[in-house]
Structure 1
Amino acid sequence: MSIEQESFNIEEEKLNKTIEWIEEKIISLKEREEDISNKINEINKEVKGSYNYEVEALQNSLQINRKNLNSYKSSISVPYFARIDFKEKLKDNESFYIGKVGLLDEEDKEEMVVDWRSPIADLYYSGVQGKASYEAPIGNIEGELLLKRKFIIKNKKLIDAFDEGINEIILNFNEQDEQNGEKALIDEFLKINLEENRGNKLKDIVSTIQKEQNDIIRADMYKPLIIQGSAGSGKTTIALHRIAYLLYKYKNKITGEDIIILAPNKLFLDYISEVLPNLGVDKVKQNTFNKFSREILSSNYEIIDKDRKLSKIIENKNSKENKFITNSNKLKGSLVYKKMLDRYIKYLELNDMFIDDIKIEGYVIFTSREIIRLYKNDLKHLPLNKRKIEIGRYLENKIESKIQNVWNDIDKDYILKIREVRSKYEGEEERANIIKLYEERDNKKEKITLEAEEVLNKTIKEWLIDDVVDVYRDMYIDEENLNYATSGIIPEVLVNYIKNKIEKEIENEKIDEEDLAAILYLKIKIDGVDNYKFAHMVIDEAQDYSPLELYVLKLLSKARGYTIVGDLGQSIYYYKGIENWEKLIKEVYEEGEYIPLKQSYRSTVEIVDFANKVLGKQKNNLEPAKAVLRHGKYPKKIQYKDEKDFYEKLNSVIETIEEKKDKTIAIICKDYEQCESLKESLHLKEEKQWEIVTKDTEMLPKRIIIPSYITKGLEFDCSIIYDCSDENYRETELDKKILYVVLTRALHEEYIFYKDNITKLLI
């Protein structure tokens, strides 16, 4: 139900005036840009390429002007999405129009459009009509919220408008809640937005952010947030909007370069790539853990990624081999492994203290005692190699006085030698021997003076630990290292498996992704990595990280700012060790706040209820997701007899879907091998092309075949689940998680194909 026509007409007129004003600003800014550019060109001609302060000032003005121009250009189609009326205590009622970008009329000093991240905009997301307040830089502002109005604007045209509290509809959450008589009061504006087709990129949600999401977005930057979000809860989108908010609120303290997002793969990074630019944010580093680790290590080694290993576990029928894979990775991802690495680092530290005096020509320039004191006591707070470098600098500063001391020792030695000559020889023979001794003494002094710095630098260089990858390998290869590090607490058969695997991989210039955290930890403790430290870190799909990986990433933060988002229901890399968030908070993020997000905004009620059947069979006892707003078709189970029957039924489904146009369709297979086999068969039977998606795919086409483990975080208008038989999806914990992931990707429609008997997980 929309607002009344009279109010609609007033809002339409307001929109038209705002757009006219923006158009005028664009013309004005373009003219200003041209004027500034002309001035720069004129001055450059005069100074003929020499540095000029005025040119630098004009270039800064040009940059600001272009940024403002881009803001107006990006706003003109949809200047704002909401209006609030707020009456501050002892003041008149004011109307505020809220948009993605704040727009200020510089002449009147009036905010034509308020930035969604501004303090007063918090009332739109979290306020309720009646008494309300918000936190401003000057303190808490109290008053009365009189109106919350939401607009649908497309291409400069007002399509519809809704008032909160009036244009709301009552929906059931899901079947269970319907039985319990629970209802949800939901606004129609959100429902309309969620019913749209999504395309192949994640979109911003500034106009539909819900209160629970807004609280996370606006939470303090210096507090670790651990967000358990069910599939479709918007956890990734919330994390991205949180970045935009933090850069707005703390703009005098941080820039985009101080923040990093770690995502599971290139495909996911491409999928989220438009959100931050659309929110006016740039320069935020976006990477995968794999690639980020390689950058820090400056390594050209090939990384054996976790998807390859998971695929092997899925396909491998050798339960003994799978047991070795899972046990070794559980160990290498645990904080027990960190203790093992700490023991090894202690062992390296002890060995470092076996250093000799630094001598030239038999004279001690620096004593080992002095060096060890600096290493063991004064510089103990530094990583091992940094200590050595600092010791080198310290000794270099003292080298002149040390050389003078050695000269004094040489003089003393040669005084004795000259006395001895005088006691033995007389006349010319005495004189010749003394001259020879003086020359010998002076040559020795000169050599020490010339070589002291070189010998010092060479000693420090040889003392440095060179390659942390080799150091990691040596922990297993050297029996003494291994015994000291493990202290006999790890079963010998498992140690031998890891040892043989690591030795073989590093010889072939390969590193298992599960070893990266340990190698990074050694890098931090040996070399330090200050250049890579960030003020805030967003880690997406965090359930796929091991405790050690998250601990290492914590060491790469300058502050305590982390936004950790994940879903234990989707932890398909279960063998890496995260069992629950509470344990992780206790062991890694001591001051962390745990926030569950249970509402799912992605799929229809029917799809969420269907997927929750599988979630309920997992061991983690997670509360099932609650779908809101949208009802649709119940997921359709389709049995097929043979290959011919499968393709006939598949084509029938695809034809039905494609009649609706602009739909993204994903056929989801359990593993990559199934994807290849299916694509080959489809190529022979269909004219239209299907593309297999891998972890290296950078853009999603509209018709894809994709393995289960790459779908996490992605969403499609329609999902087709391939071979959901009891042979393909068994009652293992891994299969429960994989199936839950694939069943929670669809927005609108879902089809489950199976041969013979459907998996017991869906019964």
Structure 2
Amino acid sequence: MPAEPPPLAPPEAGPAPTLDPVLETAGDDAATLAAECAHLAESRAALRRMRENAEGMSADAAADWVSRRFLESLLNQRIEALADHPGTPLFFGRMDQDGTGTGAGMGTGSGDDAELPPTMYVGRRHVHDGDEGRPLVLDWRAPVSRAFYQAGPADPMGWRRRRRFGFQGGELTAFEDEPLDGRALGPSAILTEEIERPRTGPMRDIVATIQPEQDELVRADLPRTVCVQGAPGTGKTAVGLHRAAYLLFTHRERLARSGVLIVGPNRAFLAYISAVLPALGEVRVDQATIDDLLGAPAADEPAALGALKGGARMAEVLRKALWRQIGKPEEGLVVARGAARYRLADYEVREIAAALQNGGRYGNGRAAFAQRLAHQILVRMEQRGGAPDDRIQDQVVRSKPVKALVDQVWPKVTAEQVLFRLLSDSELMGAAARGVLDEDEQAALLWAKPPRSHRSARWTAADRALLDELNDLIERTPSLGHLVVDEAQDLSAMQLRALGRRCGTGSATVLGDLAQGTTPWSARSWTEVLGHLGQEGEVTELTLGFRVPGPVLDYAARLLPHVAPELEAPRSLRAGTGALTVRRVPDLAGAAAGAAREALARPGSIGLIVPDAEAAAYAAALAAAGLEHAVLGPESDGAGRLLVVPATLAKGLEYDQVIVAEPAAIAAAEARGLARLYVVLTRAVTALTVLHHADLPTELAS
């Protein structure tokens, strides 16, 4: 699987950015390249010394065992972050000053006019000379490094020249200079070659080629929630991951306490993106799917029923169902203390219970109910001349009469018990859903044959989100510092509410494409998504593609008016001559094997994307043809050069060459099949071959 390639910047208004390509070195150019190679060698040696110094540090001086373990963990993280990956360049760019020595907001300090270094190298992490403390490479996330991405002819930000480096296998092989005075010399050959270069394996970072509009999103302040509507190949996933890395760098202490979580659509996608943050030195970021957070489903259900359960109206139904677990006291309360007896009438107990049903957490209300009952008993003691204290109140709370009454009136319940009762009991369903759901919807939610108990219930994916809602109504869900949600358009309102609770006191980066929504409950607007998350934020639309070749993107965009007519058609910066082939064939399996054999003669990864039900048949055809391959599964890591990819697992993944078998079958397999087909057709980085025996969908053939 190739990584999302670095984007190529579109032309700016006014004078175009200038480039002075130097790809074939000779004379002075060779001497310059040799000097840059020497700086790379010096930087690698310094990084090695930094790691050795970290390895030589000990946590033995800690005062106690807990502190020692904490320091050991910090040291291990530091050592891991200082690893030198031979195939990854330590720096990718250089900035040279214009001689003024200052730049607004670009200094190494925090002031707006902090002093600029004469020359700075920008890379994936900070590297300094251990003896002198001299910075050899500045972290791309440092404030001063922002100029590498934002400086241009209109605002050079105090810099004279930007230099980009080309690498092969970690070795510096070329450089390009971009004077920041407005001279136009054409597009960057290094960036173009990087886009076209075949690649396999997991997704890579794009720190070398982040564009100004992406950089603005990456460097958004921590309290700000960012929502990115991104067409295929626009780099939205990369923006989200790099924003996580930036926030961890800028707010490390705060986020170390509160945490950062990446949520992706499936395990294959998480495996694909798993190398990005470690390559940037961030090794302690959790990644999960929605099933990891809410629990894996144990059963399936009709799409229409899942969509009903996933709707936001269910939140009110659940709230009412939970609070209807509170009963009316059949009698008052009598507490004996020695020879004395203290009483509360039944109406007094009802008043206490009613006063606590004010929309707070059910579990907190149960605890408060016991305390209020005990407090009223202490009032009775005081009225008889006693002087009870907090110790006495705690004893009353734990007394058998109070505990029995609390269990009767305000029983302790679990989310599973409440949902089981709701889906099994038509009377409770009618009371909880009255005015929220109509009678047909209520009937659809009820189990035709209820399980014997909540312990034997087989919960679906939609049920899992309902259980999470109930758990939060009972006890508050802890919040993270920042949440990154990719493919957010595919989450139901109830799933989004579950994620929103996990960043209730933090912020979020929300990524997706409404045109790629393939679930029955897919969102139709980002305002709706943000509302369910409980977040406020601006929506940024990225429509300029860098990964998908132009002919391929144009072909897939034929479907856009039918799946998301409100979106602007995406554009590609890549001409991609000869990138698209569409053929009608008599034998799909044989033709797919032949196309795969041809693709293997060219460099790069190959994805054979097929209807889910036919994945095994296509794998057998490849095996019969003697072609080594693997079949992508929900839990697999996507390793292998030639993969058979079920269409429902293709989202978010990329391959140099894509072969799509029978588009009509993919489109017909599900309610939003055209959206699924749009996803499938936009996975190619270099070339797309479409094979079909049946007629193409009319929306695609037009």
Tell me if 1:357 matches 2:332. yes
Given candidates 693, 697, 702, the residue that maps to 1:759 is 697
Going from structure 1 to structure 2, the CA distance change for 1:347 and 1:620 (only over 3 Å counts) comes to: farther
Q: Which residue of 2 aligns with 1:495?
A: 442
Given candidates 344, 366, 375, the residue that maps to 1:388 is 366
Given candidates 313, 338, 351, the residue that maps to 1:336 is 313
Report matched runs for 1:118-517 at 5 Å. Answer: 118-129=142-153, 131-133=155-157, 144-154=158-168, 157-164=171-178, 186-255=187-256, 258-294=259-295, 302-304=297-299, 325-348=302-325, 351-352=326-327, 354=329, 356-360=331-335, 363-364=341-342, 375-377=353-355, 380=358, 382-392=360-370, 453-460=399-406, 463-487=410-434, 490-500=437-447, 503=450, 508-517=456-465
Which one has a bigger Cα radius of gyration? 1
Distance in 2 between the 1:66 and 1:347 partners? 49
Given candidates 514, 523, 528, the residue that maps to 2:471 is 523
Going from structure 1 to structure 2, the CA distance change for 1:61 and 1:10 (only over 3 Å counts) comes to: farther
Going from structure 1 to structure 2, the CA distance change for 1:468 and 1:454 (only over 3 Å counts) comes to: same
Q: Deviations over 1:397-455 (max 9, x none)?
A: 8988877989989xxxxxxxxxxxxxxxxxxxxxxxxxxxxxxxxxxxxxx98996344
Q: Which residue identity does 1:654 align to in structure 2?
A: A
Deviates more, 1:460-469 or 1:521-530: 460-469
Distance in 2 between the 1:501 and 1:552 partners? 27
Given candidates 85, 95, 101, the residue that maps to 2:119 is 95
Determine if contact 1:546/1:577 at 8 Å carries over to the other structure: yes
Q: Which residue of 2 aligns with 1:80?
A: 91
Q: CA deviation at 1:698?
A: 3.5
Q: CA deviation at 1:470?
A: 2.1
Q: Which residue identity does 2:570 align to in structure 1?
A: A
Q: Which residue of 2 aligns with 1:297?
A: none
Q: CA deviation at 1:753?
A: 1.1
Going from structure 1 to structure 2, the CA distance change for 1:280 and 1:677 (only over 3 Å counts) comes to: same
Q: Which residue of 1 aligns with 2:567?
A: 622
Given candidates 119, 123, 129, the residue that maps to 1:105 is 129
Q: CA deviation at 1:131?
A: 3.4
Determine if contact 1:715/1:747 at 8 Å carries over to the other structure: yes
Q: Which residue of 2 aligns with 1:545?
A: 491
SS in 1 for 2:298: strand
Identity of aligned residues (%): 20
Distance in 2 between the 1:734 and 1:77 partners? 40
Going from structure 1 to structure 2, the CA distance change for 1:408 and 1:514 (only over 3 Å counts) comes to: same
Structure 1: state its 5+ residue gaps.
Answer: 44-50, 134-143, 171-183, 295-300, 310-324, 410-447
Given candidates 620, 632, 636, the residue that maps to 2:581 is 636
Distance in 2 between the 1:269 and 1:632 partners? 32
Distance in 2 between the 1:713 and 1:66 partners? 29
Going from structure 1 to structure 2, the CA distance change for 1:400 and 1:273 (only over 3 Å counts) comes to: same
Distance in 2 between the 1:199 and 1:65 partners? 30
Distance in 2 between the 1:678 and 1:108 partners? 61
| Greater fraction helix | 1
Going from structure 1 to structure 2, the CA distance change for 1:247 and 1:395 (only over 3 Å counts) comes to: farther
Q: CA deviation at 1:586?
A: 5.4
Q: Which residue of 2 aligns with 1:316?
A: none
Aligned residues: 656
Determine if contact 1:224/1:592 at 8 Å carries over to the other structure: yes
Distance in 1 between the 2:449 and 2:209 partners? 49
Q: Which residue identity does 2:494 align to in structure 1?
A: L
Going from structure 1 to structure 2, the CA distance change for 1:52 and 1:328 (only over 3 Å counts) comes to: closer
Q: Deviations over 1:55-85 (max 9, x none)?
A: 9679948954972585263489622110112
Q: Which residue identity does 1:358 align to in structure 2?
A: L
Going from structure 1 to structure 2, the CA distance change for 1:99 and 1:738 (only over 3 Å counts) comes to: same
SS in 2 for 1:678: helix
Q: Deviations over 1:633-675 (max 9, x none)?
A: 232122222xxx43443333222211124x322221222x211
Distance in 1 between the 2:53 and 2:506 partners? 45
Q: CA deviation at 1:275?
A: 1.0
Q: CA deviation at 1:705?
A: 1.7
Distance in 2 between the 1:523 and 1:55 partners? 32
Q: Which residue identity does 1:665 align to in structure 2?
A: I
Distance in 1 between the 2:70 and 2:495 partners? 43
Q: Which residue of 2 aligns with 1:419?
A: none
Q: Which residue of 1 aligns with 2:512?
A: 566
Determine if contact 1:168/1:186 at 8 Å carries over to the other structure: no
Q: Which residue identity does 2:22 align to in structure 1?
A: S
Distance in 2 between the 1:477 and 1:58 partners? 50
Q: Which residue identity does 1:679 align to in structure 2?
A: A
Tell me if 1:658 matches 2:635. no
SS in 2 for 1:534: coil
Determine if contact 1:536/1:557 at 8 Å carries over to the other structure: yes
Tell me if 1:703 matches 2:642. yes
Distance in 1 between the 2:378 and 2:553 partners? 76
SS in 2 for 1:617: helix
Report the aligned-residue RMSD. Answer: 3.9
